[in-house]
Amino acid sequence: MPERLVIALGGNALQSKDSAPTAEAQLEVVRKTASHIAEISRRGYEMAIVHGNGPQVGRILLSSETARDVVPPMPFDVCGAMSQGYIGYHIQQALKYALAARNRNYPVVSLTTQVVVDKNDPAFQNPTKPIGGFYSAEEARQLEQEKGYVLREDAGRGWRRVVASPLPRKIVEIGAVRLLWDHAIVITCGGGGIPVVENPDGTLEGVAAVIDKDFAAELLAEEVDADVLLILTEVEKVAINFGKPDEKDLDHLSLAEAARYAAEGQFGVGSMLPKVQAAMKFVRTNPGKRAIITSLDKCLDALEGKTGTAVTFA
């Protein structure tokens, strides 16, 4: 049986820090990302792909709000759906090409995916998810006053708008993902999924939030009974004492070690911490399985156990 992967793609798989955040620049980065994913597919793994959307949904929202005198602004959930659509389109197009270059005529499909959140999730009272671009402290103050945004300093890189990031509870389209799994590479739960709440009468309603894509990928991995949750980001390994002279890369983290380091504050809140938490949840629920945190360009070596940080139950 081929190993089944759920791959979570981080920001660097979609955008480069060195270029303007245009659609064209994104497609160029996505083409490189797609060649890594196509190579994973060529080695015989089955997979679904989850991607982030923080920078993209923030910019769509800003465009929509800026043009409010000309066209009615799009609600937040619709902006999330738009980000899912265009990022999925880029990955779908680039991956088809990268697979064909390896003589793999394998279908790729991106699925507009809604993810149910709890409307009483405390995250709605405490926005934490950075979206869009960066501002100076002065611009941030001005935006807070003029537009009522909430902005926070983001890891020494500048100020960013933050929005609620509730936990994913249920993937609405999971039945479609399961049907598609045996026939295609499915791009799903993009941007963590379009956040919706369930009304008492069973109807769904979009809400203003951005779900963490690593947590959504974890839920998906549980739901499709994946063998591996593969979280791809900028760093090859999770470290302790990150950014300090005594920084130490970790090849392996047991659940107990991960919990201890997390309690010590070893993982960046809003960056590495959610990845480690997602990995912990996956192996807690599936004690025989593994989660891997590594960089995009090391993904194959990491799957073969040669690098990356493997998170396992024991």
Ligand X SMILES: NC(=O)OP(=O)(O)O
The catalytic site residues sit at 11-12, 129, 213, 275
Q: Which residue has the tokens 């799957």?
A: 303
Min CB(8)–ligand X separation in Å = 8
Residue 74 interacting entry, from ligand ADP, ligand X, none, C-beta within 5 to 8 Å by type: none
**Residue 186 makes contact with ligand X by CB under 6 A:** no
Output the CA torsion 14→9→167→151 (10° steps). Answer: -30
Q: In what order do the strands lie in the sheet with 252-254?
A: 108-110, 185-187, 46-51, 4-9, 228-233, 290-295, 309-312, 252-254
Rounded to whole angstroms, the Cα distance separating 39 from 302 reads 13
Binds 191: which of ligand ADP, ligand X, none (CB < 5-8 Å by kind): ligand X
For ligand ADP, the closer CB: 7 or 99: 7
Binding to ligand X, residues 4-63 (CB under 6 A): 11, 52-54
Give the nearer residue to ligand X in terms of CB position, either 99 or 292: 292
Which positions lie near ligand ADP, rule CB under 6 A?
10-12, 52, 233-235, 238-239, 242, 266-268, 271-272
Q: Which is nearer to ligand ADP, 91 or 197 (CB)?
A: 91
Q: Which residue, 47 or 235, has its beta carbon nearer to ligand ADP?
A: 235
Binding partner of residue 112 among ligand X, ligand ADP, none, CB cut-off 5 to 8 Å per kind: none
Q: Which does 142 bind (CB under 5 to 8 A by kind): ligand ADP, ligand X, none?
A: none
Q: Binder to ligand X among 210, 219, 221, 226 (CB under 6 A)? A: 210
CA–CA gap between residue 46 and residue 65 (Å, rounded): 40
Q: Is 192 in the site for ligand X (CB under 6 A)?
A: yes
Pairing of strands 239-240, 248-249: antiparallel
Q: Identify residue 154 by its one-letter amino acid code.
A: D
Q: What does the block give as tokens for 267?
A: 């993982």
Any contact of residue 121 with ligand X (CB under 6 A)? no
Residue whose tokens read 């738009």:
82
**Least distance (Å) between residue 270 CB and ligand ADP:** 7
Q: Is residue 213 near ligand X by the rule CB under 6 A?
A: yes
Find which of ligand X, ligand ADP, none residue 96 binds, CB within 5 to 8 Å per kind: none
Please, what is the minimum distance in Å from the beta carbon of residue 80 to ligand X? 9
Residue 302 site contact among ligand X, ligand ADP, none (CB < 5 to 8 Å, cut-off depends on kind): none
Tell how strand 46-51 and strand 108-110 pair up: unpaired
With CB atoms as reference, the residue minimizing the distance to ligand X is 52
Residues of this chain that interact with ligand X (CB under 6 A) are 11, 52-54, 191-192, 210-213
